[in-house]
Structure formats: C-alpha cells, structure tokens
Amino acid sequence: MAMAASEIEAMIRAALPDARVTVEDLAGDGDHYAATVTSETFRGLTRVKQHQLVYAALRGRMGGELHALALQTSAP
C-alpha cells in the first residue's frame, strides 16, 4: 500500500511543527520519495539524530507502506 506525499509531509509536520518540508515522489509509485526537512529542532544534532527524528515521525511506516525515503535535513 503506497503513501501520498501529503501524508508524509503531514506526519513530519505533526512531529516537527516548525519544520519546512518538501516531499517529492521520485518514481511516481508512491513508494520512493525524497524529502527535505529544515527545523530548528535539528540544531546541534548529528545528521543521524536528525534522520532518526524524521523516521520516528513516520511511526513505523518505513519499510512497509513507504519503501524508500531519501532525506536531506538541516537546521535553518
């Protein structure tokens, strides 16, 4: 079952309310996305920690409904 880009964006925004989020469907199949997330929450965190926060926001959907998500994260 595929996910819509808007659903991914909403889940990330719910967990990181200040985030600027863009999500792009890379293959048109609802399974392969690229996301850019900018949030003050990321300031001082390693890239791994930043990505972990985004994956946590997706509440276990990675590897199931969402097959692949290429992430770019940063603090403003």
70: Cβ–Cβ under 8 A, 6 or more apart, which residues? 26, 33, 34, 35
pTM: 0.89
Quote the number of domains for the chain. Answer: 1
Confidence band for 1, pLDDT divided at 50, 70 and 90: low
Report the CATH number at residue 16.
Answer: 3.30.300.90
Q: Tell me: the pLDDT tens digits for 6-16?
A: 999 999 999 99
Q: Tell me: the pLDDT tens digits for 9-47?
A: 999 999 999 999 999 999 888 888 999 999 999 999 999
> 52 lies in which domain range?
5-74
Q: Tell me: the pLDDT tens digits for 46-65?
A: 999 999 999 999 988 887 77
Contacts 24+ apart (CB under 8 A), 26-32: 26/68, 26/70, 29/2, 30/2, 30/3, 30/4, 31/2, 31/3, 31/66, 31/67, 31/68, 32/67, 32/68
